[in-house]
Amino acid sequence: MAERQKLILPVVGLLILILPLVIVAFTSNDNEIKDIERSSTSHKFQEELWIKFKHFERKMESEVTKLKTKVELLESKILEQAELLKECKTCSPITETFDNDMPVDHVKNVRPLAKSILQPKTCLEALTSDPSLESGMYWIDPDGQGRGDNPIYVYCNMTSGSSSILHDSENSTAVDHCFDPGCYSRQIKYNATLRQITMLAELSNECHQSIKVDCFDAAFEFNGIAYAWWNDRNGDPRYFWSGTNNNSSAHYHSCQCGLEGSCVDKSLLCNCDSDLAVELSDNGVITDKDLLPITKLNFGRTIAPTSISTHEIGRLECSGKVVLNGMPTSCQDLWRVGYVLSGLYSIKGSSNKVETVYCDFSKLPGDEGLQAWIGYADVKSEPVYFNVGRNTSFRYSSTAMPFEQEILNVGNAFDLPSGTFVAPCNGTYFFAFASFAENSYSSFYFSLMLNNVQITSCYSSYTLYYCHIVYTLKLSSGDQVQMFLQQGSTNNAIFTGALLAEDIF
């Protein structure tokens, strides 16, 4: 509002300055008119004066109109600025805390991320764009700026470039006394939505979360009954306390000591399965990034007054940049490497072909409609087609029939003197051949040969003195295709072929 006043003041000032002049001009004109009326000697002079007055009036009118337009223009500009200011406040929560008069350089030193319009998706991205950043709390937006959920406030280790998501169960917490499996349960509240956490995991090379359980006269599993488990990202129960879900069984149960074979009771997979009145503990790091984070902890069999069980969960820490295994095969892959503009993209298809898909990046991995299949992209590493002929006499022989007329030989895959087509790449090829017998009363027959093996043939008796072959073949690069005249003679043949579809991958 202060800005608006600043701009209006000069305009109002200008009007105040002009007003007396107008009044003076008007009154002086009035006096003159009266004088002239009194004398009433020159009617003509009076008319002239009237014209002058009208002229002056018009001029003033146009000036006022100009000023009005200017004011309107300034007003609309102010509104525009106000809108921008409002937008900027919602785009980055940090800007709210800034003093308007703080110099820009100063701002950079205080909160480095605030100045950049682009909010990083991960701490690693922030570190990559500014290697001088120091470890601390930062705002990141894994699901992309200006879309999805609000940015999240995470701890960035700028030595490793890892992002850690804070939660409310980092401190050691005692389990209540109760008996039934899962009778104690604790929901872990993260300072980020599950969607943002999932996207962070998607973008990261690895994620892990540590869990430490101290136990005394309490057990994870006892007599085949599972008393304790944690719930994964999808809410499903998990019974392993370290590593990955390295077992097809949903009930896979193990602890770090079980993986190492170092449990107190060697016959068990966890120290805390012992159910002994001894202070024991199981420390593990869960590394299955598709299951993390731990969303809930459940314990039981702690009914005895002497039973003690405490849990301590580390932050969910994700680091590294997800590495694509070769070329992108989906919109999800494209999203991971940073594509954000919706559009048609080529991907490595499942059928050795390049495929075209539409990626709607207003959606996120896991959302319906992120990818729509459009079709195969007709990609060939080089065009291959030929059309050759011969019009001179050729008698049957044990070699391929040569050709002498080259009508087309794009890709140079056909060698005319040897009559040999060599497939330049893996793919599907189409061939057509037609020939007339030289002597209309003799029979003859041709074979289509693939690597010296007959694939098909055409035969002509003396009543039908021509033969033809149409054939589609899947070839590997280097395969040879030829026409053999097995019987009779010809002086008229044409052979054509083309690469229909190439196996690109």
477 lies in the binding site for ligand NAG (CB under 6 A): yes
Q: Which residue in 31, 159, 325, 463 binds ligand NAG (CB under 6 A)?
A: 159
Q: Which residue in 253, 311, 336, 353 binds ligand NAG (CB under 6 A)?
A: 253
Tokens 């009005």, residue located: 68
User: Closer CB to ligand NAG, residue 152 or residue 200?
Assistant: 152
Within 13 Å, how many C-alpha atoms sit on residue 374's CB side? Answer: 17
Choose the stretch contacting ligand NAG; rule: CB under 6 A; options: 33-41, 155-163, 260-268, 413-421: 155-163
455 lies in the binding site for ligand NAG (CB under 6 A): no
- In the stretch 355-374, what mask flags binding to ligand NAG with x, by CB under 6 A? --------------------
393 lies in the binding site for ligand NAG (CB under 6 A): no
List the helix and strand counts (H, then E) for the chain: 8, 29
User: Which tokens hold the place of 461?
Assistant: 């008796």
247 lies in the binding site for ligand NAG (CB under 6 A): yes
Side by side, the strands of the sheet bearing 296-299 are 184-187, 296-299, 229-231, 237-240, 253-254
303 lies in the binding site for ligand NAG (CB under 6 A): no
Burial of 254 (0-12, 13-18, 19+ CB in 10 A): buried
SS (H, E, C) 173-216: EECCCCCCCCCEEEECCECCCHHHHHHHHHHCCEEEEEEEEEEE
- Nearest CA to 152 out of 85, 198, 84 is that of 198
351 lies in the binding site for ligand NAG (CB under 6 A): no
Say what angle helices 2-39 and 43-91 make with each other, to 10 degrees: 180
Q: State how beta strands 444-450 and 480-487 pair.
A: antiparallel
User: Closer CB to ligand NAG, residue 331 or residue 419?
Assistant: 419
210 lies in the binding site for ligand NAG (CB under 6 A): no
User: Which tokens hold the place of 423?
Assistant: 């497939």
487 lies in the binding site for ligand NAG (CB under 6 A): no
CB neighbours (10 Å) of residue 377?
16
Say if residues 430 and 498 touch (Cβ distance below 8 Å). yes
How near is the Cβ of 166 to ligand NAG at its closest, in Å?
A: 5
User: Which tokens hold the place of 374?
Assistant: 């459009």
User: Contacts with ligand NAG: how many residues (CB under 6 A)?
Assistant: 24
Choose the stretch contacting ligand NAG; rule: CB under 6 A; options: 14-22, 157-165, 275-283, 433-441: 157-165
Phi-psi region of 343 (alpha: psi -120 to 50; beta: other; left: phi over 0): left
User: Which tokens hold the place of 162?
Assistant: 């890892």
Q: State how beta strands 489-502 and 385-390 pair.
A: antiparallel
Q: Which residue in 391, 397, 399, 454 binds ligand NAG (CB under 6 A)?
A: 391
129 lies in the binding site for ligand NAG (CB under 6 A): no
Say if residues 160 and 299 touch (Cβ distance below 8 Å). no
User: Closer CB to ligand NAG, residue 306 or residue 405?
Assistant: 405
How near is the Cβ of 358 to ligand NAG at its closest, in Å?
A: 28
- Nearest CA to 402 out of 473, 498, 393 is that of 393
User: Closer CB to ligand NAG, residue 140 or residue 359?
Assistant: 140
Choose the stretch contacting ligand NAG; rule: CB under 6 A; options: 14-22, 109-117, 160-168, 227-235: 160-168
251 lies in the binding site for ligand NAG (CB under 6 A): yes
252 lies in the binding site for ligand NAG (CB under 6 A): yes
User: Closer CB to ligand NAG, residue 244 or residue 310?
Assistant: 244
409 lies in the binding site for ligand NAG (CB under 6 A): no
Choose the stretch contacting ligand NAG; rule: CB under 6 A; options: 156-164, 200-208, 324-332, 334-342: 156-164
CB neighbours (10 Å) of residue 433?
20
Tokens 């764009």, residue located: 129
How near is the Cβ of 258 to ligand NAG at its closest, in Å?
A: 9
**For residues 166-205, which are near ligand NAG according to CB under 6 A?**
166, 168, 171, 191
160 lies in the binding site for ligand NAG (CB under 6 A): yes
Residue ranges that bind ligand NAG, judged by CB under 6 A? 152-153, 157, 159-160, 166, 168, 171, 191, 243-244, 246-247, 249, 251-253, 259, 391-392, 405, 426, 476-477
